[in-house]
Structure 1
Amino acid sequence: MSNRQDTTRDRVEAAITGPLSDLGLDVEAVELSPAGKRRLLRVAVDTDGGLTLDDVADATRAISAVLDDEASTVMGEQPYTLEVTSRGVDRPLTLPRHWRRNVGRLVKVVLADGTTVTGRLTGSDDAGAELEVSGSARTVAFDEVTKALVQIEFNRTEEDA
Structure 2
Amino acid sequence: MSRKVIEAVEELAVPILEEEGLELYDTEFIKEGKNWFLRVYIERPEGKVDLDDCSRVSERLSTELDRVDPVTGGYFLEVSSPGAERPLKKESHFRNAVGNRIFITTYEPIDGNKKFEGELLEYTGESLVLDVEGNRVVVPTDKVAKARRVLVF
- Give CA deviations for 1:70-89 in whole Å, capped at 9, x if unaligned: 6332368x887542123354
Shift of 1:28: 0.6
Are 1:85 and 2:91 an aligned pair? Answer: no
> Does 1:96 find its partner at 2:94?
no
Match of 2:27 among 29, 34, 48: 29
Query: Secondary structure at the residue paired with 2:100?
Result: coil
Query: What does 1:29-48 correspond to in 2, within 5 Å?
Result: 29-31=27-29, 41-46=38-43
Counterparts of 1:148 and 1:80 in 2: how far apart (Å)?
A: 25
Alpha-carbon separation, structure 2, partners of 1:32 and 1:108: 22
2:37 and 2:77 in contact (8 A); partners too: yes
Tell me, yes or no, if the aligned pair for 1:16 and 1:63 is still in contact at 8 Å.
no
Judging changes above 3 Å, is the alpha-carbon distance between structure 1 residues 96 and 124 closer, same or farther for their aligned structure 2 residues?
farther
Structure 1 window deviating more from structure 2 (131-140 vs 119-128): it is: 119-128
Asked whether the equivalents of residues 118 and 133 of structure 2 are also in contact (C-alpha less than 8 Å), the reply is no
> Offset at 1:90?
7.0
Runs of 4+ in 1 over 6 A off after TM superposition: none
Identity of aligned residues (%): 17
Higher strand content, 1 or 2: 2
Q: CA deviation at 1:95?
A: 1.8
The gaps in structure 1 that reach 5 residues or longer are: none
Structure 2-normalised TM-score? 0.61
What corresponds to 2:103 in structure 1? Answer: 107
Count of paired positions: 146
Q: How much has 1:60 moved relative to structure 2?
A: 3.5
Structure 2: where are the runs of 5+ without partners?
none
1:18 alignment partner AA: P
TM-score, scaled relative to structure 1? 0.59
Larger of the two Rg values belongs to structure: 1
